[in-house]
Structure 1
Amino acid sequence: MTPTSTSGADRCNNLALRKAARYLGATYDRALAPVGLRGTQFSILQRLGAHGEMTISTLADTIAMDRTTMASNLKPLAREGLVTVEPSATDRRARVAAITPDGRSRLQAALPLWNAVQVRFEESFGTDEAARLRTSLTAVLDTGFQPWAE
């Protein structure tokens, strides 16, 4: 193996992760399209539905996304009336996102579509392997990098 061989690309963690993320992400996006959601939007609604209102920064942290990207992802959801984004009552610098009743309805409509992809993936990939994959990917978040540090 020489330093110029393509095996370096074959060992690139970033490329492998992004390829898999695009592949699986597009699968979820396609499945959720009938209810007008993308995978990221579903995840945002799911988090807000489970945890109630959250600051944009906290919501971004729970999804491992930078705050600016989260704010951009919230805009179409707010335009559709699925979430609200308001100034915090306790910290004027912070903005709080909350799911609306329409957002909860859309989330409920999306859940069976999301679940169908979950089941199909686990049947194809393996239930135990999918659980190990989620555990490994969660562990990646604890490797000490600070991609969004200011």
Structure 2
Amino acid sequence: MTPAPTNLADTCNNLALRKAARYLSATYDKALAPAGLRMTQFSILQHLGAHGEMTITALADMIAMDRTTLATNLKPLAREGLVAVEPSAADRRARIVTITPDGLSRMKAALPLWKAVQAQFEEGFGVDKAAQLRACLESVLHAGFQPWAE
């Protein structure tokens, strides 16, 4: 029988991923700060700008986030008038999220900041390695888990 590793940090996939995610999140957050956005907020605005209005559930699925966490992240965006969250006319239980003109403007102002930090990462990490990393991480989302299943 093989003994258990003494330091699980050396073999834990989740820890390695979270460390890298915190590192990159802090880097992107710092880059986007002049636009008054954090990376999660920018991502939400970018998805809404690209795809139009959608339910909280659809947006949560698109960005791989549970609905409760997404709703929490939408509150400051709504307070700042960057998104509108309204009950659906078709289903009063569903909430529809829409990017506002101010939200679109803020996202567009942040885009050059995002492009700069994206280019900086790819220059330091490698363009091909970055593309491989994104593809590998996307495949993690299809590993068969259902973290938000009810």
TM superposition score normalised by structure 2: 0.97
Q: Which residue of 2 aligns with 1:139?
A: 139
Structure 1 residue ranges without an equivalent (≥5): none
Q: Which residue of 2 aligns with 1:33?
A: 33
Q: Is residue 107 from structure 1 mapped to residue 107 from structure 2 by the alignment?
A: yes
Q: Is residue 3 from structure 1 mapped to residue 4 from structure 2 by the alignment?
A: yes
Q: Which residue of 1 aligns with 2:13?
A: 13
2:52 alignment partner AA:
G
2:96 alignment partner AA:
V
**How many Å apart are 1:89 and its aligned residue?**
1.2
Q: Which residue of 1 aligns with 2:92?
A: 92
2:101 alignment partner AA:
P
Task: Provide the C-alpha distance between the structure 2 equivalents of 1:78 and 1:52, rounded to a whole number of angstroms.
Answer: 16
Q: Which residue of 1 aligns with 2:149?
A: 149
Q: Which residue of 1 aligns with 2:71?
A: 71
**SS in structure 2 opposite 1:146?**
coil
Cα offsets for 1:82-114 (capped at 9, x unmatched): 000000111111000000000010001000000
Task: Report matched runs for 1:43-58 at 5 Å.
Answer: 43-58=43-58
Task: Provide the C-alpha distance between the structure 2 equivalents of 1:4 and 1:27, rounded to a whole number of angstroms.
Answer: 32
Task: Provide the C-alpha distance between the structure 2 equivalents of 1:11 and 1:61, rounded to a whole number of angstroms.
Answer: 29
Q: Which residue of 1 aligns with 2:22?
A: 22
Q: Which runs of 4+ in 1 moved over 4 A?
A: none
Identity of aligned residues (%): 74
2:84 alignment partner AA:
T
Task: Provide the C-alpha distance between the structure 2 equivalents of 1:32 and 1:118, rounded to a whole number of angstroms.
Answer: 11
Task: Provide the C-alpha distance between the structure 1 equivalents of 2:81 and 2:147, rounded to a whole number of angstroms.
Answer: 31
Task: Provide the C-alpha distance between the structure 1 equivalents of 2:109 and 2:121, rounded to a whole number of angstroms.
Answer: 20
**How many Å apart are 1:2 and its aligned residue?**
4.4
Task: Provide the C-alpha distance between the structure 2 equivalents of 1:97 and 1:15, rounded to a whole number of angstroms.
Answer: 32
**How many Å apart are 1:37 and its aligned residue?**
0.4
Task: Provide the C-alpha distance between the structure 2 equivalents of 1:34 and 1:9, rounded to a whole number of angstroms.
Answer: 35
Q: Is residue 116 from structure 1 mapped to residue 119 from structure 2 by the alignment?
A: no
